[in-house]
Chain A
Amino acid sequence: MAKLYSEKKVKKMYPKKETVNFLLNYSRALRISTYKNIQFENILN
């Protein structure tokens, strides 16, 4: 079996917590209302 010479552990990459929180808040704030086949986006903050 091939030896692993690299001692460095590959660091897993994640987005910032703020980004994820922003997305969750955006999702909570977003409302889609439909009127006569037209969709309206409302950000309720």
Chain B
Amino acid sequence: MEKTEANDAFLVKSYIEGNEQSLSILINRHQHRIYSFIFSKVFDKDVAEDIFQDTFIKVIRTLKRGKYNEEGKFLPWVMRIAHNLVIDHFRKNKRMPKFENSGDFNIFSVLCDSGLNAEKQIIKDQIEADVKELIKELPEDQLEVLVMRIYKDMSFKEISERTGVSINTALGRMRYALINLRKVIEKHNLVLTN
């Protein structure tokens, strides 16, 4: 360990003095640890590759500018840079989350068109038409209340004012309208579900 650290320090010094070969040795010596570290955080080879590259670009620029001052601690210094870039990566993705179709995960299992498909829309239209026909079998007073409540979206207070009966009577007519409608549906053995 001592020897490696000494060697790193020597190579860094030699690189700063202009020996490009030293950088090659440093990268080859530590690439596995640094790359594995990055990959263990991001779990994406391409992203790991990018962060690895950015890490060493920072290393090269700092060394060439003569701003490196952590003698003998080359690897922890590079790991710290990689760590910060990984954090930057996650911060950037948090601001701009993205979904990628990779492997067995399909984005369309999460996102979907909330509207009905053509077949379901036809069935829905058919059911609504059937119900409109069925309610015609109801007695006139019940039909009137049901239409006002369901189709015209009126409140029972408005219905009572319009028909000239009490709210309780309107409520009762609505109740009987629904009971009778169920009876008609049962009698005809109708299935009114989508």
Interface residue ranges, A against B (CB under 8 Å) = 12-16, 19-20, 22-24, 26-28, 30-32, 39, 41
The answer on a CB contact under 8 Å between B36 and A23 is no
The answer on a CB contact under 8 Å between B20 and A32 is no
**In the complex, chain B residues whose CB is within 8 Å of the CB of A20:** 27-28, 31
Does B61 belong to the interface (CB within 8 Å)?
yes
The answer on a CB contact under 8 Å between B23 and A14 is no
Question: Given contacts A19-B52, A28-B20, is CB(A14)–CB(B32) below 8 Å?
Answer: yes
Q: List 20 A-B contacts (CB under 8 A).
A: A13-B35, A15-B31, A15-B35, A15-B49, A16-B49, A19-B52, A20-B27, A20-B28, A20-B31, A23-B53, A24-B20, A24-B24, A24-B27, A26-B60, A27-B20, A27-B60, A31-B64, A32-B64, A32-B65, A32-B66
**In the complex, chain A residues whose CB is within 8 Å of the CB of B48:** 15
The answer on a CB contact under 8 Å between A23 and B32 is no
Q: Give how many B residues have a beta carbon under 8 Å from the other chain's beta carbons.
A: 21
**In the complex, chain A residues whose CB is within 8 Å of the CB of B77:** none
Which residue of A is nearest B48, CB measured? Answer: A15
Of B20, B23, B36, B64, which one neighbours A13 at CB under 8 angstroms? Answer: B36
**In the complex, chain A residues whose CB is within 8 Å of the CB of B23:** 23-24, 27
Of A12, A13, A23, A39, which one neighbours B60 at CB under 8 angstroms? Answer: A23
**In the complex, chain B residues whose CB is within 8 Å of the CB of A23:** 23, 27, 53, 56-57, 60
